[in-house]
Amino acid sequence: MHLALFDASLGTPHASRNFKRELDASLSIFQVNQGEMPPPVGAPDTPSFDGAIISGSQSSVYDDRPWIQEFSRWVEGAIADGLPLLGVCWGHQLLAQILGGTVKGGEYELGYVQVHQEAEDPIWAGIPNPFTVFATHSDHVVALPPDATLLATNDTGIQAFRHEQVYAVQFHPEYDRQTAEAMIHSKNLPADDLQIALDTCTPEHVAAAQAPKQLFDNFLDHVASRDPQSSPALDA
């Protein structure tokens, strides 16, 4: 299976390393914030992607940056073509915005948190309800796209949704403890807030956060089950 990984993490090493570790698939990695874009949807004589994953980012999806606009156009084409997509954190927000949802800035959610499933879906196969996972974001999807299914929430709001072939999760199932602690230390927040987040990085929470990693295998199962006749092939 061949996936595109769109790394929008502004040069941090964590995204590519973590996704490579967790995904049992070959990956073509595009540093989209550096202008590395795939060829246009439908370009001839190029390898086909079976699916794609969009990473987190330190930017905001509503920022007026040329690379976000260019990448959004590519994603719009991929959605129209029926390519299975998984958005994580910033990717979750970008997919929501493209599909007609609303993203706004708000309070930071930082550290290991608990998330509750709100609807049955194959993406949750083998994952307990509720589950523990790492989160780091201050932007939030505050309104779902039309016709999207709410899949998960917690006290901060929407944590996951599905729209046809698109899955999106606000949390980071790919994170390990090294990444979690590094991301906490990188935040420009009051020391007390950082310590509260660091205090969630316990062996128990790190161990509990292993279960949601099953989400990646479940997404690959979703990609594999896609009917190739249901939509045109995506060349990218």
- 135 near 109, Cβ under 8 Å? yes
| 151, containing H or E segment | strand 149-154
* Residues listed for the chain: 236
Q: Which one of 89, 137, 163, 222 is the catalytic residue?
A: 89
Q: Which one of 14, 172, 205, 222 is the catalytic residue?
A: 172
Query: Is 201 an active-site residue?
Result: no
Query: Is 89 an active-site residue?
Result: yes
- DSSP code at position 46: S
Q: Which one of 14, 92, 109, 174 is the catalytic residue?
A: 174
Place of tokens 């790919």: 174
- 42 near 78, Cβ under 8 Å? no
Query: Is 174 an active-site residue?
Result: yes
* Strand residue runs (E) in 48-179: 51-54, 85-88, 102-117, 131-143, 149-154, 157-163, 166-169
Give me the active site residues, please: 89, 172, 174
